[in-house]
Amino acid sequence: MEETRLKIRFFGDAGLRKKSHPVEAITASHREILNEMAKFMYAASGIGLAAAQVGINEAMIVVDSGSGLYKLINPRIVKKEGTQSMEEGCLSLPGICIKVKRSYKVTVKALDENGKDLYIEAEGLLACVLQHEVDHLRGKMIVDYASLWEKLKIKRQLNALRKKAQDDEELSKSGAKSCRLQM
């Protein structure tokens, strides 16, 4: 993994359940965090990452589902259309894969790293990642979409994650990626 100052937070870390604060004034430090987040995401073979996942409760996400990198500040979903279901994995939930029903098409309003208004019309995979990351900013995770049956199935894994929430090193290494899409 490339050198970065960021550390991933796992399920069980209280910060993952907190609402992220909107960024009021974008500074050089926000731009630097976004760059570090992108580096981290690529190194982890992820297609998205929210600041909350690296312990920063500010509304920032990075996304690259194959069509280029987006660094977004204060992203909001302003339009939704259709439905789709994909098997999603989460960098904060190693080894867990959950089918999540989401909108097929979304329009996201955000600021870019220079504070310029941005509208992104996305569908399919990009729409899926954007919704996953915006969820993180509200403290929501893919386990919240799990059916009762799935919850029973992953209960042991979740308890293990909770226990190991502090022991990041071990988890990163074990990182059994049962899911193709990590975000």
Q: What distance lies between CA 15 and its chain's CA centroid?
A: 13
Question: For residue 7, what are the CA distances in angstroms to 4, 20, 53, 115, 172?
Answer: 8, 17, 8, 26, 10
Q: How far is the CB of 136 from Zn ion (least distance, A)?
A: 6
Which amino acid, 125?
Answer: L
Q: Which is nearer to Zn ion, 126 or 183 (CB)?
A: 183
Helix (H, G, I), strand (E, B) or coil at 122: strand
Q: How far is the CB of 156 from Zn ion (least distance, A)?
A: 20
Q: Which is nearer to Zn ion, 90 or 122 (CB)?
A: 90
Q: How far is the CB of 50 from Zn ion (least distance, A)?
A: 7
Q: How far is the CB of 165 from Zn ion (least distance, A)?
A: 15
**Would you tell me which residues interact with Zn ion (CB under 5 A)?**
90, 183
Nearest partner of 162 among 99, 100, 94, 98, judged by Cα = 94
With CB atoms as reference, the residue minimizing the distance to Zn ion is 90
What is the C-alpha separation between 164 and 3, in angstroms, rounded?
A: 23
81: annotated active-site residue: no
Q: Which of 36, 88, 113, 133 is catalytic?
A: 133
Residue with tokens 């259709």: 82
Pairing relation of β-strands 48-50 and 105-111? unpaired
Q: Which is nearer to Zn ion, 30 or 136 (CB)?
A: 136
* Neighbour count for residue 72 (Cβ, 10 Å): 24
Point out the residues that are catalytic: 133
